[in-house]
Amino acid sequence: MNILLYGAGAVGLGLASCLLKNGERVDLVGRGDTVTALQQNGLQRTGLFGDFTAAPDVFGAFTALSELPKTNYDFLLVCTKSFDTRTAAEQIAAIPFLKNSSTPIVLCQNGWGNAEIFAEHFPKERIKNGRVITGFRRPEKHEVDITVHADAIHLGSLFDGDVSGLERLSAAITSGGIPCEVTPTISKDLWAKMLYNCMLNGLSTIHDVPYGVLGESPHTRELMENIAHEVYAVMKAAGYDTHWKSAEDYIDTFYKHQLPPTYSHEPSMLQDVRAGKRTEIDALNGAVVQLGQQHGIATPHNLTVTRMIQFMEKQADK
C-alpha cells in the first residue's frame, strides 16, 4: 500500500514505523527540523514492541503537502495535535489531487470534534477515526519510543457503517508491531478515551504528578469522579454512549483495571506545559464544556480544569 501520514510527531512516527516494518510505502509530512532529522538518520523505534530502523531512502519525508509526488494514496492518516485539526483539514483540501480523490482520511488524534471539522471539507464517507491509547514519546526528532500500551488501536467511522475498507490498514499496523482492530462502534471507544483523558490529563498537569498519584488522594478521586459524571451526562445528551451503562460502572473499571497499569505515566499535556507548548485541553475537557453548553448540561468541574490549564498555557508564554 501507499500511505501518507500528515503529522510526524510521536504518534505519526509510531504508526509509520509499523507500516514501514510491514513493507508499505510511506510518505510523512512534518515540521522542518523533524523532516531534516528523518532524511539524515532514518526513522528509529524502540520500546515495548521491539526495536526497528527504517533507512532514509525507504520512505519520503516532506515539509509541505505541495512537495508530495502526485500519486494515489490508499490511506491518509492525520496525526496532528487536535488544535491543528482545522489547519490540517484546510491544507489537505487545498491540494487538488488529495481533495478530489477517494482516499480514506483516518484521524488518529486525541479529543472530540476532529471528525466534524474534517466533514466541513470532505465527504463524510471518506472520514474515519482511529482510537490510539498507546503511549509514544520522541527522545529525538527522528526517534519514537513506545512506553505504554493499554489496548489495541481501533479503527472505525463516526459517519459511515461500512468499515470493511479499513481491514488492510489494520492488518498492516498489526503486522508492524502494534495490535490494531477494526470496529463498527468507534464512537464508544472515543468516548471511553475521553473519559479516561478528561479525568486524568488536566489534573495530572495541574498538580505535576503521574496518573497514579491522583488515585491515592480522596480529594483528587472526588474531582475525577465528578468529571466522569459530567462527561457521561454530556455524552448522553449529545446522543452517544460508551461501553459502560453508567458513570459508576466506568469509575469502578477505571480504578480496578485502567489506572494501575499506567500509575507512573505522565500525559503529553504535562510535557507540553513544561515545554511551554499549547495543550489539547480544548478538545478534551474543553470539548465537554462546549457540548454541555449546546445541550444545557452544567459542567463546572470540566470548566475549572479547562480554565486552569488555559491559565498555565498563558503563564508559559510569558
Q: What is the pLDDT of residues 17-39, one digit of tens each?
A: 999 999 999 999 999 999 999 99
**Does the domain at residues 188-317 carry the CATH identifier 1.10.1040.10?**
yes
Angstrom distance (rounded) from CA 232 to CA 184: 21
Whether the predicted pLDDT of 198 surpasses 80: yes
E strand or H helix that includes residue 172: helix 167-175
2-183 in CATH: which number? Answer: 3.40.50.720
- pLDDT digit string, tens, across residues 255-294: 999 999 889 989 999 999 999 999 999 999 999 999 999 9
Query: Among the options 193, 245, 277, 314, which is catalytic?
Result: 193
Residue 149 has a pLDDT of 86
Q: What pTM was computed for the model?
A: 0.94
For residue 122, is pLDDT > 90?
yes
Backbone angles phi, psi at 263, to 5 degrees: -55, -45
256 carries an active-site annotation: no
Indicate the domain borders of the chain. Answer: 2-183, 188-317
Q: Tell me which residue of 206, 226, 203 sits closest to 214, measured CA to CA.
A: 203
E-only strand ranges, the chain: 2-6, 25-29, 43-47, 52-54, 60-62, 75-78, 105-107, 127-131, 134-137, 143-149, 153-156, 180-182
What contacts 28, CB < 8 A, 6 or more positions away?
A: 4, 5, 8, 12, 13, 16, 35, 38, 59, 60, 61, 62
| Burial degree of 110 (CB within 10 A; 0-12, 13-18, 19+) | buried
